[in-house]
Structure 1
Amino acid sequence: MGNNLQATGELSPGHDLNGYIQTVNSIPVLSVEEERELGTRLRENGDISAARRLVMSHLRFVVHIARSYSGYGLPQADLVQEGNVGLMKAVKRFDPTQGVRLVSFAVHWIKAEIHEYVLRNWRIVKVATTKAQRKLFFNLRSAKKRLAWLNNNEVDAIAKDLDVKPHVVREMEGRLSSTDAGFDGFANDDDDQAYLAPANYLEDMRANPAQQLEDEDYEQDATRRLSDAMAKLDDRARDILQQRWLSDSKATLHELADTYGVSAERIRQLEKSAMKKVRDMMGEESLAFAS
């Protein structure tokens, strides 16, 4: 349905936002009866023309909602476009038999799409990922009564009003007050500011690429040699080693004794002999599980 509606062409907030707003405000608002009839046609018959009229008549409401998000520094046209996506999703799910006007039903979908757009684009790094953080992101600034940092009483009051933990309020306040920083600094930084680039103080001096490669090669080689050695054992010896040392739930000597109908001491001897064979086949390297 979305592609058919977007194909109307002339209605695009990205080309001329003021002209777009004038156009959508001139589209007549539907009466209750008209809305119910169009909703029924869409729901029962998949009538795309009915869906188009439902969307077109509610575009003005999307503009009104999008204006309330202008404080985030994002293009108004983009906010409107995202809200329109939410409106189309609402129209697709609208059930006129429920006795609720489309505008009331669509508010949730419109805001949801705008919220996702704001969270994705407000900063390079997404500042709100959990439900509590998202709630704070869209409510904390309006909840603050002054520009200074929140005191403990204010934090507790906001946390109670928004039903979140106080430490989450503090964390989100810090995120909202911070700014993006280039990992390698910015192109216009002078030499005196170069040391502030995160790349100069976030370096992990413990990392040694040559040592890491050597360790990985050693582990891969040891794994290969162990696999080759295990393959040369007889079935019983291989099974004993696997169940005693290579299984997540390691078997006891008595459990294996019951399985093979021998004594626990005999299983211990077989295990010791198998370990020696594997060690000899792998060379002088000691097995981790044999230490």
Structure 2
Amino acid sequence: MSDDHSARRKFVRSAMKAPYLEREEEHQLAVRWKEAGDQEALHKLTSAHMRLVISVAGKFRYFGLSMSDLIQEGHVGLLEAAARFDPAREVRFSTYATWWIRASIQDHILRNWSIVRGGTSSAQKSLFFNLRRLRAKLTQANGGVPTHETFTEIASAIGVSVKDVANMNSRLSGPDMSLNAPLTESDGESADRQDFLVDETPNQGVTVPEAMDRERRSSWLKSAMTVLSERELRIVRDRRLSEEGATLESLGNSLGISKERVRQIECRALEKLKTALVENQPNDAAFI
């Protein structure tokens, strides 16, 4: 038997031997701690409820985490409950503390169960901690195989989407897989799992020069457009630089001229732009 397991058993036996508190004694201890900060009262109050911590922690033992850690996190929740408990409300401390103990343990599980963070919303947390139970209950009639109808019922019961249920079910079906895990190929050579992931996006050797070229062209165009008149600038922007591209007729109606006149002004503006670009960047005239 490991030292850790032996120490935990001794701790559990000690916690179980702690005397139960009568309602009046519990109230007096809570008042002493709340009003006077009496550390001895806090110790007696929390020691008497460590069996509650152990009981709540035991309900989460199937998540594959250390029972000692679960009990420790539950104790943190117990201390948090003691710090927030108001004895004037005449509620038993155990009733109030149970929520804090469970919340502390659940947060610990969510932080450590997987390297991928999940269950950030209250609905996602509920799904994480209730999916196994609901899935087992609803699939008894289907030979233990979850179906789309099963996921639909679970989604309705918890208040999440069917996609969320399917994704969480997939996550709970197996452990995390490291991309650095070695794989053996057919020829006997080994490689990492990440070696077989294909990135369809262009590499930086392509994207960075393209981004620099776009920025350079934009700067050149902005500088060249200063040679245009206000009307020429509007026509070029509306016709060439907008996503939809205004028609000659619509621009003509807006400016109070014919569409043929708009076309003439546009052609003249584009020639002026070309001339300005070549003059400003003579070494890159072919590129323009």
TM-score bracket, normalised by the shorter chain, equals 0.5 to 0.7
State the secondary structure of the residue aligned to 1:178.
coil
Percent identity among equivalent residues?
29
The corresponding residue for 2:282 is none
Return the alpha-carbon distance in structure 2 between the equivalents of residues 278 and 14 of structure 1: 81
Aligned-residue RMSD, C-alpha: 4.7
Give yes or no for contact 2:110–2:117 (8 Å, CA) kept in 1: yes
2:184 and 2:190 in contact (8 A); partners too: no
Number of the residue aligned with 2:73: 82
Conserved in 2, the CA contact under 8 Å of 1:128 and 1:137?
yes
Q: Residues 149-188 of structure 1: CA distance to partner in whole angstroms, max 9, x if unpaired?
A: 21344334434443444443333222211332221333xx
Distance in structure 2 (CA, Å) of the matches to 1:68 and 1:14: 18
CA contact (8 A) 2:81 2:97 kept: yes
8 Å Cα contact 1:24/1:59 also seen in 2: yes
Q: Does residue 204 of structure 1 match 2:205?
A: no
Cα distance in 2 between the residues matched to 1:282 and 1:90? 72
Q: Provide structure 1 residue ranges, at least 5 long, that are not aligned to the other structure.
A: 1-12, 247-262
Over 3 Å counting, the alpha-carbon distance change for 1:194 and 1:19 in structure 2 is farther
Q: State the alpha-carbon separation in 2 of the partners of residues 286 and 202 from structure 1.
A: 37
- Alpha-carbon distance, 1:27 to partner: 2.6
Any residues of structure 2 matched to 1:31-50 within 5 Å, and which?
A: 31-43=22-34, 45=35, 47-49=37-39, 50=41
TM-score by length of 2: 0.67
1:110 positional shift = 0.9
Aligned 8 A contact 1:226 1:282 in 2 = yes
Contact 2:57 2:105 in 1 (8 A): yes
Letter in 2 for 1:137: F
Q: Is the 8 A contact 1:128 1:134 kept in 2?
A: yes
Aligned length: 267
- Partners in 1 of 2:82 and 2:270 — Cα distance? 69
Equivalent residue, structure 1, for 2:102: 111
Which consecutive unaligned segments of at least 5 residues does structure 2 have? 242-254, 263-267, 279-284
Name the counterpart of 2:127.
136
1:174-213 → structure 2 map (5 Å cutoff): 174-186=170-182, 189-192=183-186, 198-213=193-208
Tell me the residue number matched to 2:154.
158
State whether residues 185 and 191 of structure 2, in contact with CA within 8 Å, keep that contact through their aligned partners in structure 1. Answer: no
- Compute the TM-score of the two structures, normalised by the length of structure 1: 0.67
Native 8 Å contact 1:182 1:197 kept in 2: no
Q: Give me the whole-angstrom Cα distance separating, in 2, the residues matched to 1:285 and 1:90.
A: 74
The answer to whether structure 1 residue 96 and structure 2 residue 91 are counterparts is no
- 1:207, CA displacement in angstroms? 2.0
Q: Max radius of gyration: which structure?
A: 2
What is the aligned partner in structure 1 of residue 244 from structure 2?
none
Aligned-residue offset at 1:94 = 0.3
Closer, same or farther: CA 205–155 of 1 in aligned 2, 3 Å: closer
- Answer yes or no: is 1:17 the counterpart of 2:8: yes
Are 2:208 and 1:217 equivalent residues in the alignment? no
**Does the aligned pair in 2 maintain the 1:185–1:194 contact within 8 Å?**
no
Instruction: Determine helix, strand or coil for the equivalent of 1:169.
Output: helix
* Cα shift at 1:201: 4.0
